[in-house]
Structure 1
Amino acid sequence: MKHHLQWLALSSVATALASNNNNDNTSCSTRPYSTWMADSIISRGQGIAPAELTSSIYLQIGVVQAALLQLLESPLSSTLRCAQHDYRSHVRQGTKSIVGQLLNASEDTQYPLDRLSLGRGLLDEYLDTSTSSSDKQTAKSALDTLHKSIGLQPKNQWGGLWYFTYPYWSYLDGMYSYTAFESLYTNAFNPSGVLNKTNDIIYQLDLLWIHCIDNNTDLLFHGYDASVTASWAQPITGASPMVWGRSMGWYFMALIDWLEENSSITRTTLWNHILVRYLDFAAALLKTADPDSGAWWQVLNYPGREGNYIESSGSAMFTYGLYKGERLGLFDNDVDKYKKAADKAYNYLIDNFVVENQNGTLSWNGTVSVCSLNSSATYDYYVNQPILYDSVHGSAPFVLASLEHEISA
């Protein structure tokens, strides 16, 4: 059995992976899980768009880029010393593979809000002094176009953003990409507008909270139909009936990332509003964690029901969010309780979802494929969607959770 406190020996096969152009790893005899999984993702060519695009590729690229860029920004020198690939180069490759799809604001609205997750990589490229002038111009054009597309995004009668092309449907999923993009873009190009933009972000987050709160778990249902015409829509709120782990995971990561990225307005009324949301959901996650494993169910409002199972992507996202809240000092006197919960969940992720391959890479198991409200949205639907192997929806959040664990160790 693997244990989360181990720093694992680098195998001779793994050392044959492409060397990092920016880091000398010759002195690295042990490897943290964060870089080991990140290198494995890169070795599989993930985080780069294939020739035939699907609507899910935007978020796949975006979450891989987020993980790699957070590794690059890590205060742990040992993390990058152990890297076997050039992370910034891989981010650039991912951006190059998709940027041509992002240069028409009207057409961008035909993609999910997940398209906005690409903003982090684009902004990093734009701000990097080593970027060529032509690539810098392309990155800025894509950023501006994505920003413009938010204004063109269809909205419901309350101003809530449609997640995709399904009329009047808003999902939790889109908040991870939306909140980060709006925050990063405004901080970079219109810092005087941060407070106004924060009001917009809070409004979108709160519309979902108002319509989707589940009073039994204190978490949020997957989404809502503002027209209340979908077969699954609750008659008053329009909410869907299931609290899906990964959708709540995207929302939870949106909150904690926003709190860190907006430290310049720390302890203002607006910042505190999002902090309260984060703390409420963190407390609810401790209550809904499986008592045996410490991890979280695929459908959170039906724990232990026949067919339900512990799902790896949502569990990795929640673990990341709890560790990060601890690092940022958000739990005050309850820090030990949340640290213990994150450690227990992380230990379970290592023991049950990480797979060591003979070629020296790591694989990741137990991640459900895409669950859409363009379905029956029943319990049976959620628990019978395929389980994917090496899905970056799970492995990239595991990189993020591992990095936070390693910082806190």
Structure 2
Amino acid sequence: MIAIPRMTRKILASLLLPHLLFSPQPCVATSANYSLWMSTSIMSRDQGIMTARGGSSALLQAGITQKAFHRLVGQYPNGTESFAAYIEKSVNSVVPFIQNATFDTSYPLDRLSNGNNLITLSQGTSNTTFFSTVEALRQSIDLQPRNLAGGLWYYVYPNWSYLDGMYSFAPFAALYAVRYNKTNIDTALNNIVLQLDLLWNCCYDNSTNLLVHGYDYSRTAIWANPRTGGSPYVWGRSLGWYLMALVDTLEVLLPYRHYSQWMILKSQFEKLSTALVKVVDPASGAWWQILNAIGRSGNYIESSGSSMFVYALLKGERLGWLVGVQVVAVRAYNYIADTFVDEFHNGTLGWNGTVAVCSLNSTASFEYYTSQPILYNSVLGSGAFILASLEYELLL
């Protein structure tokens, strides 16, 4: 698949400000500080704001924008007031869509990606609507259909569970438990581990030691493995969601790091990270769209999954859970930044190379995954790139 050609770099980073960042220095967006620059560009396009026309991934677009900006404000607290305000703008845009727990189950698990910043805002403001919406999201997990083993359906497809939903589910369920349900923390941790474990056991790919996109508990889907129910291909971005879910959930649950459930998640994170390093593309240093069909004609290096992997690996080593992966992640980051980032005369950044939504409501064939369109300026990719950039910038 051919992505939109990358523009030649056209402006010097020093020309970006002051007309894009609305706050005073020391926040300076440069090519060594892509997190601020890409975040400003996302704001200039009004991305990550929920509308009725946002498409099937609109809630997830809002959620990853909020998470990326929240991390940005935490890392660069001086002069980032406009990003903090944008988080609240995004959350406010989402609230009307997710205030009813029963109706919430008509959305994919991606809806829960908005939960972490809802919790933060509900505890930092007097807006009671934020808290009631948090409660609706939390109750919607209990109302979500499950298979007979207790696995959450990702969406409306009976008995189908995807890796994708874990980035939204696990960190939210963990933060809710830590903030509101400490007396029942074991139950919350057990449910988080159950979801991740079911996916691990049903989606494990013996050829790569990675995880395929999802599974059908009933094993009746056209793509389902007759023994495990797993789909046939390791899709990079779905694995990226799962890996980020692990590292972010481990961080939220640090006060409980001596619990057996935390150690299970840490073991999964270590094993997946080790396997991921082994399938990096030797030529580019990044990762393919389909990770158990490396080099096959039609396959290509994909930007969103690669950014997610960089983020998770760098964060994992920074927090002391991984060793020796930094050099791999830094090489990948440099390739991603050089290949997929476009710089424009108006001072904004563009983002290329991110595949559109891939669903198991399909043939789930190699041809399906590699024929889905590339979306320019997809916030699912640029948001992941911000997270990767923030980790990279801690090394500078």
**TM-score of the pair, normalised by structure 2:** 0.94
Please state if 1:401 is matched with 2:392: no
d(CA) in 2 for partners of 1:358 and 1:56?
A: 30
d(CA) in 2 for partners of 1:397 and 1:307?
A: 24
Match of 1:19 among 22, 33, 41: 22
Compare 222-231 and 247-256 and name the one that shifted more.
222-231
Unaligned runs of 5+ in 1: 3-7
Q: Report how far residue 58 of structure 1 moved.
A: 0.7
Aligned residue for 1:312? 303
SS in 1 for 2:287: coil
d(CA) in 1 for partners of 2:97 and 2:50?
A: 11
d(CA) in 1 for partners of 2:270 and 2:150?
A: 26
Q: Report how far residue 33 of structure 1 moved.
A: 0.9
Please state if 1:378 is matched with 2:368: no
Match of 1:329 among 315, 320, 328: 320
Q: Report how far residue 9 of structure 1 moved.
A: 5.7
d(CA) in 1 for partners of 2:228 and 2:26?
A: 58
Look up the equivalent residue of 2:118 and give its one-letter code.
Answer: L
Relative to structure 1, the CA distance from residue 26 to residue 235 in structure 2 (aligned partners, 3 Å threshold; closer, same or farther) is closer
Q: Report how far residue 301 of structure 1 moved.
A: 0.3
d(CA) in 2 for partners of 1:9 and 1:310?
A: 27
Q: Report how far residue 191 of structure 1 moved.
A: 1.6
Q: Report how far residue 228 of structure 1 moved.
A: 1.0
Q: Report how far residue 197 of structure 1 moved.
A: 0.8
Q: How does 1:129-278 map to 2 (within 5 A)?
A: 131=125, 133=126, 136-278=127-269
Relative to structure 1, the CA distance from residue 29 to residue 354 in structure 2 (aligned partners, 3 Å threshold; closer, same or farther) is closer
Look up the equivalent residue of 1:365 and give its one-letter code.
Answer: N
Aligned residue for 2:109? 113
d(CA) in 1 for partners of 2:27 and 2:112?
A: 38
SS in 1 for 2:325: helix
SS in 1 for 2:394: helix
SS in 2 for 1:341: helix
Q: Report how far residue 51 of structure 1 moved.
A: 3.8
Aligned residue for 2:58? 57
Please state if 1:91 is matched with 2:87: yes
Q: Report how far residue 54 of structure 1 moved.
A: 2.6
1:324-380 deviation per Cα after TM superposition (whole angstroms, max 9, x unaligned): 01110112xxx3x30100111001111101111111111110000000000111000
d(CA) in 1 for partners of 2:85 and 2:173?
A: 25
Compare 98-107 and 276-285 and name the one that shifted more.
98-107
d(CA) in 2 for partners of 1:44 and 1:14?
A: 17
SS in 2 for 1:363: strand
Are 1:14 and 1:361, in contact at CA under 8 Å, matched by a contact in 2?
no
d(CA) in 2 for partners of 1:167 and 1:248?
A: 21
1:275-319 deviation per Cα after TM superposition (whole angstroms, max 9, x unaligned): 110000000011111011111000000000000000000000000
Look up the equivalent residue of 2:329 and give its one-letter code.
Answer: A
Q: Once superposed, what is the RMSD of the aligned Cα atoms? A: 1.7
Please state if 1:123 is matched with 2:119: yes
Are 2:113 and 2:169, in contact at CA under 8 Å, matched by a contact in 1?
yes
Compare 42-51 and 161-170 and name the one that shifted more.
42-51
Relative to structure 1, the CA distance from residue 26 to residue 329 in structure 2 (aligned partners, 3 Å threshold; closer, same or farther) is closer
Relative to structure 1, the CA distance from residue 343 to residue 192 in structure 2 (aligned partners, 3 Å threshold; closer, same or farther) is same
Q: Report how far residue 101 of structure 1 moved.
A: 1.1
Compare 259-268 and 10-19 and name the one that shifted more.
10-19
Q: Report how far residue 100 of structure 1 moved.
A: 0.8
Relative to structure 1, the CA distance from residue 27 to residue 117 in structure 2 (aligned partners, 3 Å threshold; closer, same or farther) is closer
Are 1:222 and 1:243, in contact at CA under 8 Å, matched by a contact in 2?
yes
SS in 1 for 2:154: coil
d(CA) in 2 for partners of 1:144 and 1:29?
A: 37
d(CA) in 1 for partners of 2:121 and 2:228?
A: 41
Look up the equivalent residue of 1:109 and give its one-letter code.
Answer: T
Q: Report how far residue 82 of structure 1 moved.
A: 6.5
SS in 1 for 2:342: strand
d(CA) in 2 for partners of 1:205 and 1:237?
A: 15
**TM-score of the pair, normalised by structure 1:** 0.91
Look up the equivalent residue of 1:232 and give its one-letter code.
Answer: W
d(CA) in 1 for partners of 2:29 and 2:251?
A: 32
Relative to structure 1, the CA distance from residue 217 to residue 293 in structure 2 (aligned partners, 3 Å threshold; closer, same or farther) is same
Please state if 1:289 is matched with 2:280: yes
Unaligned runs of 5+ in 2: 1-5
d(CA) in 2 for partners of 1:228 and 1:377?
A: 14
Are 1:327 and 1:408, in contact at CA under 8 Å, matched by a contact in 2?
no
Look up the equivalent residue of 1:235 and give its one-letter code.
Answer: P
The runs of at least 4 consecutive aligned structure 1 residues that moved more than 6 Å come to none
Are 2:29 and 2:36, in contact at CA under 8 Å, matched by a contact in 1?
no
SS in 1 for 2:15: coil
d(CA) in 2 for partners of 1:95 and 1:208?
A: 29
Are 1:9 and 1:29, in contact at CA under 8 Å, matched by a contact in 2?
no
d(CA) in 2 for partners of 1:347 and 1:82?
A: 26
Aligned residue for 2:47? 46
Relative to structure 1, the CA distance from residue 9 to residue 81 in structure 2 (aligned partners, 3 Å threshold; closer, same or farther) is farther
Compare 388-397 and 190-199 and name the one that shifted more.
190-199
